[in-house]
Amino acid sequence: MDKTYQPSAIETNWYKTWEDNNYFAPSGEGEAYSMVIPPPNVTGSLHMGHAFQHTIMDTLIRYQRMQGKNTLWQVGTDHAGIATQMIVERKLAAETGQTRHDLGREAFTDKIWEWKEESGGNITRQMRRLGNSVDWNNERFTMDPEFQASVEEAFINLYDDGLIYRGKRLVNWDPKLHTAISDLEVESKEVKGKMWYLRYPLADGVTTDAGEDHIIVATTRPETMFGDTAIAVNAEDPRFQSIIGKFVELPLVGRKIPIIADEHADMEKGTGCVKITPAHDFNDYEVGKRRQLPMINVLTLNADIRQVGQGFNSDGSVNDEINCYIPEQFHNMERFAARRAVVAEFEALGFLVKIEENNMTIPYGDRGGVVIEPMLTDQWFANAKVLAQPTIEAVENGDIKFVPKQYENMFFSWMRDIQDWCISRQLWWGHRIPAFYDAQGKVYVANSEQAAREKYNLTADIELTRDNDVLDTWFSSGLWSFATLGWPEQTDDLETFHPTDTLVTGFDIIFFWVARMMMMSMHLCKDRAGKPQIPFKNVYITGLVRDESGEKMSKTKGNVLDPLDMIDGISLEDLLEKRTGNMMQPQMAEKIRKRTEKEYADGIPAHGTDALRFTLAALASTGRDINWDMKRLEGYRNFCNKIWNAARYVEMNTAGEDCGQNGGDITLSLADRWINSKLQHIQTQTAKYIDEYRIDLAAQTLYDFIWNEYCGWYLELSKPVLWNEEASASEKRGTRQTLVRVLEVIMRLTHPIMPFLTEEIWQSIKGQAGVSGDSIMLQSYPKANNDKLDLAAEADIEWLKGVITGVRNIRGEMAISPAKELSILINNGSDTDLQRLNDNRNFLMKLASLADITWLSAGDEAPMSATQLVGKMEVLVPMAGLIDKDAEISRLNKEIEKLDKDIGRIEGKLSNQKFVANAPEAVVAKEREKIAGFKSSQQKFVEQRAKIAAL
């Protein structure tokens, strides 16, 4: 082994070996355990959130593989409709100045495929670098022909079951991207806006009870008034009783529109009169449907004012009778310009009553970033209510469990109130909807024109055209758990690996993806008995990885960290280029530059994959976000180095030596028995924690055991045996064997979290450890063996540690050089103490660096000494020539004071009659025992202090 730990050298080699040998593929033996990777955008790159989730998933799958399961970790990428199309459109614009329309649909999608080929390898390269043991043989892309076929099949299935329909509905329309989007893709933002109070004159000479010849409506969207088709007031509102059923004359347009009563109108809000614009507001749309109001669309798909409105009846059919006039001065005006123009016109007419500042939340498209417009368009919808029902039951009855559990509430509240899901997108990149239309617009759903003709018995003279729209990306990723396994065919893989076991993903896509996968799977995927199949049994929801100051990582903030840079390191120049190059908002570049230069003055050094993974694992407590901490990464890099060096020590002392592989007598030292016993606890705990998804506790347990117990104590305790010329062959054999076998077990225990380092070390010690195999990843996960528990040895070592720490404490406090060998005395020891001393003299001498140890019998005179207590036994370091009188007194004072506090606290408890009466006896006894110990210790220290003071 090299003298220094160099992660990059070992990491790339091992991954290649594993992959070349097909170790990631299902073994075909044992109980099945499967997971799907949340498919990342094919053209994207992995960020810290991916690295976090992938670490958890890889830890789980490696653990399960080592448990002997038949594991499948399904890998693949998503075509990510809008996101990818946008990237390529932007690229096209930058390079040639063309839009997608200049190229046309086919040529443009070819461009996207080109881009996918060019950049698509990036993300899979990164996965390999992270060590993900995914089954590459089974890699899928959502636009693969087989997957496309599954998507079409799913659509047709749902359509034939009456769960997909097409209709003219009000949907969220992105006027920049020119597509409908789902409710979930809309982000609300708080903005300061205005509310305008507009006067609408009453028609036919009608007046209100108050004698007014007009009413006043309040609106935040005056430009939609061309589409007003009613005014609503509350039926209970005393102010407007007499005008219900009468009309107003819509200013600027002249259309007479009715005043209706509807519960939507709130007497408390605004003026009590609401203008109803069914084609441009979701609430008004509902009112319109309820009251059979016509709808007038006044906006183009760009959200500009039309030249003439489009009239529809409330059922969506065309209404060519209604007056859809829009004054010429507003034609083709952009919506916000039109807003100002309409207000100006009202003002000119004297119809503008007042303007108020108004805080409101406005919907923005999460991709395009512009204000979303409710738009009346023909779209495809999935009946989400029906699809949701079984999934709610599956979570209620525990078939699907969320970790942490509180996400179930979030899931329920959304699912129980779910709205129909708009699944069509007016994009070019995606799964084209398998629907055909004849000249009359009648719909035929089938996966090809040929199939449509057969299915619907259409004669050849009927011309069919295919729907131009594509499906929402989440429609296809909703099929991910089973379409990747060959659905709709009933394949063996589907039989074996579905439902999958655990889904690991972020809370931000519970609705987008997790819920959709559940709906799709439970409707489409049935087991042999016809029972709906859940897609997964457990959903492990991870938090977000944030930056050091708790901010979300984002390109615009310039605080994004690339996991690969943590692994391989990056120079400041490259990091700056990465963060400020190719920015959407170049004005931020300077700020980002400064911040980056300050935080990473020397760039980022390489830490290796294992260190990154261990850090993420250690931070993975459930139900909480992670604030990334570079220091923590450094600490775990040091941990890797620690393991490396410990392994070097083991190798030096065992390679080519007799470790008992070939038989021979074995004598285990106390330390050997102790570390073996401790190891059993660790094995139990680690497995338990991983089973409970507490990877952080598993990591913490391993860290503590390896560093503090194995390296800190055991390796030191092995030296007095291995370097002792008087030790017997069987004693040395026993210690060598323990040294290397414990390390071998530690490597297997740690392998799921840190695959590379553990493989490298395992390979170089497996011979001495007496094990064989091609790779640690195919070895079994260690299991505790209770026969190896040795509580007596554990107690003995605790005693030993107490004595050694006691001496070291005196050394430290008294500033005695570690090089100075001390002669100590033991006073007031019991028979057990004497036994332990005699058994472990060698260990004590070496670890506390002593010259000799003198056992004082009763009546022996002790010299003036600094004292430490191990139970009742006194460890004495003679002061003569070493220790200053005042220093020892002040050290004793400190001890006495500390004990004072403890004694006071416990005395308080014990003098409380209620405590003594009510607390369990064991608890009371424990307190009594404690206080007795404290008191006797304190007594000793006080006596000692008096003696020293008397000098």
**Closest distance to RNA from the beta carbon of 315 (Å):** 22
- Does 715 bind RNA (CB under 7 A)? Our answer is yes
**Closest distance to RNA from the beta carbon of 385 (Å):** 14
* Number of neighbours of residue 288 by Cβ within 10 angstroms: 24
Count CA atoms closer than 13 A to 336's CA, side-chain side. Answer: 6
Closest to RNA by CB, 41 or 805: 805
* Residue from 716, 794, 839, 907 in contact with RNA (CB under 7 A): 716
Site for RNA in 748-777 (CB under 7 A): none
- Does 818 bind RNA (CB under 7 A)? Our answer is yes
Site for RNA in 359-378 (CB under 7 A): 359-362
- CA distance linking residue 748 with residue 520, whole number of Å: 39
Closest to RNA by CB, 701 or 827: 701
Q: Using CB under 7 A, count the residues that bind RNA.
A: 95
Closest to RNA by CB, 704 or 852: 704
Site for RNA in 823-852 (CB under 7 A): 849
**Closest distance to RNA from the beta carbon of 722 (Å):** 8
- Does 184 bind RNA (CB under 7 A)? Our answer is yes
- Per the listing, tokens 């749309």 go with 285
Question: Which range, of 154-162, 626-634, 744-752, 787-795, touches RNA by CB under 7 A?
Answer: 626-634
- Does 48 bind RNA (CB under 7 A)? Our answer is no
Site for RNA in 62-91 (CB under 7 A): none
- Does 862 bind RNA (CB under 7 A)? Our answer is no
Concatenated DSSP letters for 816-833?
--TTSPEEEEEES--HHH
- CA distance linking residue 442 with residue 453, whole number of Å: 13
Element (H, E) at 382: strand 373-382
Query: Strand locations in 588-699, DSSP E?
Result: 626-627
- Does 550 bind RNA (CB under 7 A)? Our answer is yes
What's the token pair of residue 179?
């597509």
* Residue from 163, 410, 845, 942 in contact with RNA (CB under 7 A): 410
- Does 4 bind RNA (CB under 7 A)? Our answer is yes
Question: Which range, of 358-366, 519-527, 660-668, 938-946, touches RNA by CB under 7 A?
Answer: 358-366
Closest to RNA by CB, 26 or 222: 222
Closest to RNA by CB, 566 or 576: 566
- As a whole number of Å, the CA-based R_g of the chain is 38
What's the token pair of residue 167?
């209709």
Closest to RNA by CB, 87 or 233: 233
Question: Which range, of 270-278, 303-311, 593-601, 769-777, touches RNA by CB under 7 A?
Answer: 270-278
**Closest distance to RNA from the beta carbon of 401 (Å):** 16
- Does 811 bind RNA (CB under 7 A)? Our answer is yes
Element (H, E) at 577: helix 572-580
* Residue from 98, 157, 496, 627 in contact with RNA (CB under 7 A): 627
Q: How far is CA 281 from the centre of its chain?
A: 36
**DSSP count for the chain of H helices, then E strands:** 31, 30
Closest to RNA by CB, 564 or 640: 640
Residues in CB range of 290: below 8 A, 6 or more apart: 262
* Residue from 557, 808, 841, 872 in contact with RNA (CB under 7 A): 808
Q: What angle is formed at CA 28 by the lines to CA 24 and CA 31, rounded to 5 degrees?
A: 100
**Closest distance to RNA from the beta carbon of 12 (Å):** 18
- Does 219 bind RNA (CB under 7 A)? Our answer is yes
Question: Which range, of 313-321, 591-599, 636-644, 666-674, touches RNA by CB under 7 A?
Answer: 636-644
Closest to RNA by CB, 128 or 555: 555
**Closest distance to RNA from the beta carbon of 611 (Å):** 9
Site for RNA in 476-505 (CB under 7 A): none
Closest to RNA by CB, 641 or 828: 641
Closest to RNA by CB, 103 or 919: 919
Question: Which range, of 160-168, 316-324, 529-537, 701-709, touches RNA by CB under 7 A?
Answer: 701-709
- Does 509 bind RNA (CB under 7 A)? Our answer is no
Question: Which range, of 13-21, 73-81, 173-181, 263-271, touches RNA by CB under 7 A?
Answer: 263-271
**Closest distance to RNA from the beta carbon of 199 (Å):** 13
**392, 412 in Cβ contact below 8 A?**
yes
Q: Maximum Cα–Cα distance for the chain, whole Å?
A: 122
- Per the listing, tokens 């653990």 go with 63
Site for RNA in 189-218 (CB under 7 A): 195, 217-218
* Residue from 441, 631, 791, 859 in contact with RNA (CB under 7 A): 631
* Residue from 23, 325, 414, 855 in contact with RNA (CB under 7 A): 414
Site for RNA in 428-447 (CB under 7 A): none
Closest to RNA by CB, 441 or 881: 881
- Per the listing, tokens 């057990």 go with 832
- Does 707 bind RNA (CB under 7 A)? Our answer is yes
Question: Which range, of 355-363, 514-522, 557-565, 756-764, touches RNA by CB under 7 A?
Answer: 355-363
- Does 325 bind RNA (CB under 7 A)? Our answer is no
- Does 221 bind RNA (CB under 7 A)? Our answer is yes
- CA distance linking residue 778 with residue 133, whole number of Å: 12
* Residue from 813, 864, 878, 942 in contact with RNA (CB under 7 A): 813
What's the token pair of residue 415?
């699912």
**167, 289 in Cβ contact below 8 A?**
no
**Closest distance to RNA from the beta carbon of 747 (Å):** 15
- Does 241 bind RNA (CB under 7 A)? Our answer is no
- Does 318 bind RNA (CB under 7 A)? Our answer is no
Q: Which alpha helices (H) appear in 397-538, and where do they start and end?
A: 407-415, 449-456, 473-477, 480-483, 492-497, 516-524
The CA–CA distances, whole Å, from 475 to 74, 147, 579, 820 equal 19, 12, 33, 74
What's the token pair of residue 722?
């291995």
Q: Output b/e per residue, 541-579; b: 16+ Cβ within 10 A.
A: bbbbbbbeeeeebebeebbbbbbbbbbbbbeeeebbebb
Closest to RNA by CB, 269 or 594: 269
Burial class of residue 106, CB neighbours in 10 A (0-12, 13-18, 19+): exposed
- CA distance linking residue 941 with residue 935, whole number of Å: 10
* Residue from 113, 136, 437, 649 in contact with RNA (CB under 7 A): 649
**Closest distance to RNA from the beta carbon of 621 (Å):** 3
* Residue from 36, 518, 646, 882 in contact with RNA (CB under 7 A): 646
**Closest distance to RNA from the beta carbon of 103 (Å):** 35
Among 639, 765, 766, smallest CA distance to 706 is for 639
- Does 274 bind RNA (CB under 7 A)? Our answer is yes
**385, 430 in Cβ contact below 8 A?**
no
Site for RNA in 884-943 (CB under 7 A): 894, 902, 912, 914-915, 917-920, 923, 930
What length does the chain have?
A: 951
**Closest distance to RNA from the beta carbon of 159 (Å):** 26
Of all residues in the chain, what percent are helix, strand and coil, respectively (each to 5)?
50, 20, 35
**Cis amide prior to 863 (ω within 30 degrees):** no
- CA distance linking residue 713 with residue 706, whole number of Å: 10
First CA to last CA distance, the chain = 57
- CA distance linking residue 469 with residue 466, whole number of Å: 9
- Does 697 bind RNA (CB under 7 A)? Our answer is yes
- CA distance linking residue 641 with residue 610, whole number of Å: 11
| Phi, psi values for residue 581, rounded to 5° | -75, 150
Return the amino acid letter for 631. K
Q: What DSSP state is assigned to residue 628?
A: -
- CA distance linking residue 650 with residue 656, whole number of Å: 11
